[in-house]
Amino acid sequence: MTENLWPVAQQTVAATLSWWIARHVIHHHQPVFAPITTLVALNTARGGRGTNAVRFVAGVVAGVLVAEAAVALLGPGYPTIALAVFLAILAALVVGGERVTMAQAAVSAVIAVGTGIQAGSNRVVDALLGAGVALVFSQLLFPAHPLALLRRAESGTLADLAEALALTVRAVDGGDAGQREWTWEHLRAAYARLAELGEARADAGTAARRSPVWWGRREPVERESRYAAGLDLLGASCLTLTRTVLALDPGRRADFTPAVAELSRTLRSLAAAPGDHAVRQRAAERALGAAALAPALADGEAAETAAAATGVTMVVLDVLAFVGVPADEARAAVRARTTRVRVGAPPTLRWTSAPRLGGGPRRRA
């Protein structure tokens, strides 16, 4: 609740400013569309607000232009509205097909045909004004921190994967079919979280490219985004580990419980502060310790047991990749059954190293 108050305050001030400019500077008597544009543009996840503003304006402009052409061709009337809406939505599809663009194109076409072209033209001016205010707020005064976007998504993904492995341990200990089904459901939720991580990576990249505050400092964001992409592999490895362990004979499952439990604790600790160097170092050491807890395979070991052991190794290697350990060093450490490995400093991107163009609370990334 508290963390949502700041975005709400931004939207309130920005919408009020849009109304004031439209009313007292441009002298629109009913300047409702300027603040509406600002609110729609800013009412989305941080990192996507600037893009939302551009999509909104693109829809409005497309709708008004199509409406003008339809009126010139057919004159006012019901067929004109139908044609204008149809062509406006098609035009929105051509320029990207986002829902907000399609909706605004259709609405603007209806307004332009139904109330007159002048009303449509005024709406374009209001939309440009409202989007401009939204861009100033989202890109100059209060831009999203790219690494903060990534780390927040990483934390949620790691926490869900940690819980999935913890539930695997409980399923092994309890042997309850309902508990086992809960594990699968939670793994599916973790995959949904991975989809959100993909969106966060895209938003972080957009913020780093488009906000002047971050221009020329994209390397840390790109590096952390590559680490975050590795969580897709970690999710697949956790699913493999869960499936292979639960497929073992009851007597053999318990042999893997210590390793799976330690991996769960490792991911949970990493989720608490994925951008902290000491936390990453400790996570790497704990992951390697979990690899050592997996039972050694005897000659002629069953294929199912070998698959479970491989699952442990895969999770360990993916954790090491996420915290920044080179692949060859990670494999060597697993083979040597050692916990001695050095993790490089994670990417950082500080507000203080950029020119400040506005105030607002700052969160560490």
Q: 259: domain range?
A: 146-336
Please check whether residues 103 and 122 belong to one and the same domain.
yes
Residue 176, domain member (yes or no)? yes
Of 99, 117, 141, the position where a domain reaches its end is 141
Is the domain of 48 the same as that of 157? no
Reported as a single tens digit per residue, the pLDDT across 312-353 is: 999 999 999 999 999 999 999 999 989 999 998 999 887 644
Please check whether residues 131 and 64 belong to one and the same domain. yes
Residue 41 and residue 134 in one domain: yes
The two three-digit tokens of residue 164, written as one number: 């999935």
Pair 309, 184 in one domain: yes
| 151 and 133 co-located in one domain | no
Residue 345 lies in a domain: no
Residues 206 and 151 in one domain: yes
At 292 the three-state DSSP class reads helix
Rounded CA separation 85/108 (Å):
9
The mean pLDDT of the chain is: 86
Last-in-domain residue among 141, 156, 189 = 141
Whole-number percent of the chain with pLDDT over 70: 91
pTM of the model: 0.78
Evaluate if residue 277 carries a pLDDT over 60: yes
Residues 116 and 59 placed together within one structural domain of the fold: yes
Q: What is the CATH number of the domain that holds 269?
A: 1.20.58
Task: Give the helix ranges, DSSP H, for the chain.
Answer: 2-24, 33-42, 49-74, 78-94, 99-115, 117-135, 146-174, 177-210, 219-246, 250-272, 277-293, 303-323, 327-336
Q: Please tell me whether residues 150 and 240 are part of one structural domain.
A: yes
Together in a domain, 42 and 28? yes
Cβ-in-10-Å burial (0-12, 13-18, 19+) of 267 comes to: buried
Residue 343 domain-assigned? no
Same domain, 206 and 319: yes
Counting the structural domains of the chain, the total is 2
Residue 285 lies in a domain: yes
Do 178 and 137 fall into the same domain? Answer: no
pLDDT, residue 181, reads 63
Q: Residues 238-264: what's their mean pLDDT?
A: 91
